[in-house]
Amino acid sequence: MGGADQPDRAAWLQGPAAHCNPQPGKTENPWRLILLGPPGVGKGTQAEMLHLRLHACHLSTGDVFRAAGARKECDLSPAMKAALEYMRRGDLVPDSIVWEMVLERSGCLRCGGGFLLDGFPRTIHQAESLKRLMENQNIPLHAVVNYELPQGDIVQRLSGRRTCKECKAVYHVTERPPKIADACDRCGGALFQREDDRPESVKVRLEAYEEKTAPLTEFYRGMRVLLPVSATGTPEEICERTVAALEARKAKTPATGVPHS
């Protein structure tokens, strides 16, 4: 996002002291969505495409961590400082600290343009905390889009990824190959396979997802907001499928959204 006519997500990336530029306008019946799905399913790509279609801000917790890593320590909140310490050691950031980071940015959930929450919640505990927050602030949750893809397809998709060592551009050996083998189209840098994109690593990541994050689908199914969407096909096809499913859901529910319980 960003640019002259779009919010730059400053309040999300930097914290509540910052203000988005320009301010997002209030949209009639803005979408407020959570995006779920295993690694490699393409949530980030879909979030960016849905942002353009629905005009809701893409709120990615991963983007917050990356932005924090590039900022001066004196500009970071206690929660972000703690999160970075865990990340520098190669450890997972505890639920409690991730929740504090989101809580600092809870004003973004009230954004007049709506939101696409990507990367949070990851656990039942986080989902319950978010549910209470949104209920207390009378923020409706319209749908939880759960992108589904067979495990074999995910392993093939991720194990075929190649990343540029210089500019970090991402390619795929069959779906999006570079013009010159093993060389980045943008900068000519060498392409490599990330350690966590190797088939054996992908399977470990998927097992971790199934154990910790997949139970969220049952949590949101119980709230009657879960919206399964097949993640097969091109990104454009998946986006069209998502928008169609959302529009069909909107036609069946009030414009104010689905109750939390």
Tell me the pLDDT tens digit for each residue of 14-48.
887 788 876 666 777 899 999 999 988 989 889 99
Ordered domains of the chain (ranges, CATH): 39-148 (3.40.50.300), 150-211 (no CATH)
What's the rounded Cα separation, in Å, for the pair 85 and 103? Answer: 19
Q: Does the pLDDT value for residue 168 go beyond 90?
A: no
Query: Residue 11 has which token pair?
Result: 């309040």
Q: What is the mean pLDDT of the chain?
A: 87
Q: Which residue has the higher pLDDT, 69 or 209?
A: 209
> Is 194 in the active site?
yes
Catalytic residue among 131, 205, 241, 249: 205
Q: How would residue 71 be classed by pLDDT, with cut points 50, 70 and 90?
A: confident
Q: Confirm if 44 and 127 have CB atoms less than 8 A apart.
A: no
Q: Which of 9, 32, 122, 157 is catalytic?
A: 122
Q: In this predicted structure, what is the pLDDT of residue 250?
A: 87
pTM for this predicted structure: 0.83
Residues 146/217, Cβ–Cβ less than 8 Å: yes
Q: What local confidence, expressed as pLDDT, does residue 75 receive?
A: 75
User: Is 249 known to be catalytic?
Assistant: no
Cα angle 205, 164, 36; round to 5:
35
Q: CA-CA distance, 61 to 99, in Å (whole number)?
A: 10
- Point out the catalytic residue in the list 43, 105, 157, 162: 43
State the pLDDT at residue 72.
Answer: 77
Q: What is the spatial distance between Cα 236 and Cα 243, in angstroms, rounded to a whole number? A: 11
Q: Is 161 designated active site?
A: yes
Q: What span, in angstroms and rounded, lies between the C-alpha atoms of 32 and 216?
A: 17
Catalytic residue, candidates 9, 105, 157, 161:
161
CB contact set of 50 (below 8 Å; sequence gap of 6+):
33, 56, 58, 116, 239, 242, 243
Catalytic one of 26, 110, 194, 224: 194
pLDDT score for 109: 94
205 tagged catalytic: yes
Q: Is the pLDDT of residue 119 over 80?
A: yes
What are the phi and psi torsion angles at 229 (to 5°)?
-135, 130
Tokens standing for residue 188: 């000519």
32 is catalytic: no
Looking at beta carbons, which pairs linking 46-50 to residues 24 or more positions away fall under 8 Å? Answer: 46/145, 46/147, 46/235, 46/238, 46/239, 46/242, 47/116, 47/118, 48/1, 49/235, 49/236, 49/239, 50/116, 50/239, 50/242, 50/243
- Please report the pLDDT score of residue 256 as a whole number: 39
Average pLDDT of the segment spanning 146-167: 92
